[in-house]
Amino acid sequence: MSKTIYDRYQTGEIYDGKRAVWVPQPRQEEFMRRTEDEVLFGGAAGGGKSDALVIEALRQIKMPWYKGLILRRTYPQLKELIGKSRLFYPQIDPKAEFNKTEHTWYFSSGAQIIFGSMNNEDAKYNYQGQAYDYIAFDELTQFTFPMYDYLRSRNRPNGPGMRCYMRASANPGGIGHGWVKDMFITPAPPMTRMLKEVVVENDDGSVETRRMSRIFVPSKVKDNHALMRNDPNYIFRLAAMSEAEKKALLDGDWDSYIGQFFGEWKNDPDHYRDHVHTHVIEPFDPPEHWRYYRSFDWGFRKPFSCGWWAVDRDGVAYRIYEFYGCKRDRPDTGVELNASEVFAEIAKLERTHPYLRGREFIGVADPACWNRQTGKSVYQEAAEQGVVFTKGDNERVAGWIQCHERLKFGPDGRARVRIFKTCRDFIRTVPAVMADEHHAEDVDTTGEDHIADEFRYFCMRNPCAPMKRPPPDPRRKNPAHTYLDVPIEDL
């Protein structure tokens, strides 16, 4: 039975009147049939994500007022997508013209598809005052949340009868790994629709609340039969990569990814009680005779972070409570409270919270808190509320080494820092911190790194000795040898 125009429309197939120019593969078809406002496609390399985004943009080109926008983080990366469009768009509309300076396709109906890039956060304002019926982000994990969020306010109809929606592709890893995972991966299993209220800020400063539906459609290289046929070695090249790269790009594993700064991180709910091979643990009432610390990083437009730590007699640190000043549902956005309000709340928490009250805290804070631009410093504001800090050591690389030392698992499978599972923002942001591309020993400071910084001040205030290696196995003559020296019956 031949396909109807409606079938073709539903599946995203591109038909020039005589033959199919591009036929979606089963996974791509699933993606293109979705009706949710926001759909993330992917999770692994090579599944046919970029092709699907570029073709999806054509869906409404018969409407003269249609405007579609396809984004990549940088212009050179965008060239791959423009190349795809040059292959397919003229086949579907021979009169379509590509304007190289504007990176825009003009279709015979008057519809437009624009290819855009966003090098930095301010570049989002290049799209101010515009409306786009379709917005696609290729490699969403390379964008920051504010970029995505801003474009959400630009997703508006350009005329009557238009469908407005956003689509994105992504591989695990990249500066946006954390927020993309929180938004599309963690809240619901794949192929499960999520409904969420989002606050959209318009150009005129007004805010509106929209109910958005969202879904994650997974795709892996094996779903791309065309690629498997054309380049059977591709899958072997993915399999030969480093463990983190392989897990991310071949298996689509969102828990380990390329560029993750704290590669030691483990969050295993099966071990929340025995503390083995997990950093996250079940909370408990910490004994009053332990040592207590409070670490702090200041922020106004960006979040501030206050963490409370208990250290047991063996020197193991427990993050027992946190107060993170971040807007709900808006990662990396501060709550814009004055320092006096923040410290009043901190003082109150220390008087009333069952894990904190009656304890003496050693405070340590970002040394920038001692700066005085106008009026009082943040440090003075804190002191006035009875919250006292010492200056944190901001030797970044040494500080990160201390954080790694604490996160390492010892021979008994336990780490020297453990996080109460109620410290949700630590668990959300610290594993998502990325290494700096140009300086692997430091973190990429464009990410949401405030809790990581505050954790670093704590670690530097309370350094621990390098983890002892397990004693050499006396049965091995040469410790560098592996199991070959071990008697057969022990294997």
Ligand X SMILES: Nc1ncnc2c1ncn2[C@@H]1O[C@H](COP(=O)(O)OP(=O)(O)OP(=O)(O)O)[C@@H](O)[C@H]1O
Contact status: 47 vs ligand X (CB under 6 A): yes
Q: CA 396: distance to chain centroid?
A: 22
Specify the residue, 64 or 83, whose C-beta has the smaller distance to Mg ion: 83
Q: How far is the CB of 142 from ligand X (least distance, A)?
A: 11
Region binding ligand X by CB under 6 A among candidate stretches 129-137, 219-227, 288-296, 455-463:
219-227
Picked from ligand X, Mg ion, none, the partner binding residue 144 (CB below 5 to 8 A depending on kind) is none
H-only helix segments in 320-420: 339-352, 378-384, 396-407
Applying CB under 6 A, among 31, 37, 43, 48 the residue interacting with ligand X is 48
Report which secondary-structure segment, H or E, holds 455.
Answer: helix 450-461
Specify the residue, 219 or 256, whose C-beta has the smaller distance to ligand X: 219
Q: How far is the CB of 177 from Mg ion (least distance, A)?
A: 16
Specify the residue, 237 or 348, whose C-beta has the smaller distance to ligand X: 237
Picked from ligand X, Mg ion, none, the partner binding residue 295 (CB below 5 to 8 A depending on kind) is none
Spatial separation of the C-alpha atoms in residues 198 and 209, rounded to whole Å: 6
Picked from Mg ion, ligand X, none, the partner binding residue 176 (CB below 5 to 8 A depending on kind) is none
Contact status: 12 vs ligand X (CB under 6 A): no
Q: How far is the CB of 51 from Mg ion (least distance, A)?
A: 8
Region binding ligand X by CB under 6 A among candidate stretches 56-64, 182-190, 223-231, 324-332:
223-231
Picked from ligand X, Mg ion, none, the partner binding residue 28 (CB below 5 to 8 A depending on kind) is ligand X
Specify the residue, 78 or 198, whose C-beta has the smaller distance to ligand X: 78
Applying CB under 6 A, among 43, 46, 218, 447 the residue interacting with ligand X is 46
Which residue matches tokens 């009875």? 386
* DSSP SS3 for 142: helix
Cβ 88 vs Cβ 112: under 8 Å: no
Region binding ligand X by CB under 6 A among candidate stretches 16-24, 141-149, 323-331, 423-431:
16-24
Region binding ligand X by CB under 6 A among candidate stretches 39-47, 109-117, 194-202, 411-419:
39-47
Q: How far is the CB of 3 from ligand X (least distance, A)?
A: 15
Binding string, 133-172, against ligand X, x = CB under 6 A?
Answer: ------------------------------------x-x-
Spatial separation of the C-alpha atoms in residues 278 and 260, rounded to whole Å: 17
Residues 6+ apart with CB under 8 A from 164: 37, 133, 134, 155, 156, 157
- Give 61's Cβ-side CA count (13 Å radius): 23
Nearest to 404, CA basis, from 459, 468, 335, 469: 459
Q: How far is the CB of 52 from Mg ion (least distance, A)?
A: 9
Applying CB under 6 A, among 13, 32, 37, 49 the residue interacting with ligand X is 49
Adjacent-strand bridge partners of 207? 201
Q: How far is the CB of 247 from Mg ion (least distance, A)?
A: 19
Q: How far is the CB of 50 from Mg ion (least distance, A)?
A: 3
Applying CB under 6 A, among 227, 346, 434, 452 the residue interacting with ligand X is 227
Picked from ligand X, Mg ion, none, the partner binding residue 224 (CB below 5 to 8 A depending on kind) is ligand X
Nearest to 283, CA basis, from 354, 363, 192: 354
Six-digit token string for 393: 């050591």
Number of CB atoms found within 10 A of residue 277's CB: 13
Six-digit token string for 458: 């704590």
Estimate the crossing angle of helix 450-461 against helix 396-407, to 10 degrees: 80
Q: How far is the CB of 164 from ligand X (least distance, A)?
A: 24
Specify the residue, 155 or 224, whose C-beta has the smaller distance to ligand X: 224
Report which secondary-structure segment, H or E, holds 317.
Answer: strand 317-324
List interacting residues with Mg ion (CB under 5 A): 50
Q: How far is the CB of 171 from Mg ion (least distance, A)?
A: 8
Query: φ and ψ at 432, to 5 degrees?
Result: -90, -5
Contact status: 226 vs ligand X (CB under 6 A): yes
Cβ 394 vs Cβ 366: under 8 Å: yes
Cβ 458 vs Cβ 364: under 8 Å: yes
The count of chain residues that interact with ligand X, using the rule CB under 6 A, is 17
Give the sign of the dihedral formed by CA 340, CA 426, CA 286, CA 361.
negative
Applying CB under 6 A, among 12, 13, 21, 25 the residue interacting with ligand X is 25
First-last CA distance in the chain: 62
Q: How far is the CB of 155 from Mg ion (least distance, A)?
A: 21
DSSP state of 477: S
Spatial separation of the C-alpha atoms in residues 446 and 118, rounded to whole Å: 14
Q: How far is the CB of 226 from ligand X (least distance, A)?
A: 3
Region binding ligand X by CB under 6 A among candidate stretches 1-9, 21-29, 298-306, 331-339:
21-29
DSSP-based helix, strand, coil % in the chain, nearest 5? 30, 20, 45
- Cα radius of gyration (the chain): 26
Spatial separation of the C-alpha atoms in residues 406 and 96, rounded to whole Å: 59
Q: How far is the CB of 15 from Mg ion (least distance, A)?
A: 24
Specify the residue, 50 or 142, whose C-beta has the smaller distance to ligand X: 50
Q: CA 73: distance to chain centroid?
A: 15
Which positions touch ligand X (CB under 6 A)? 22-25, 28, 45-51, 169, 171, 224, 226-227
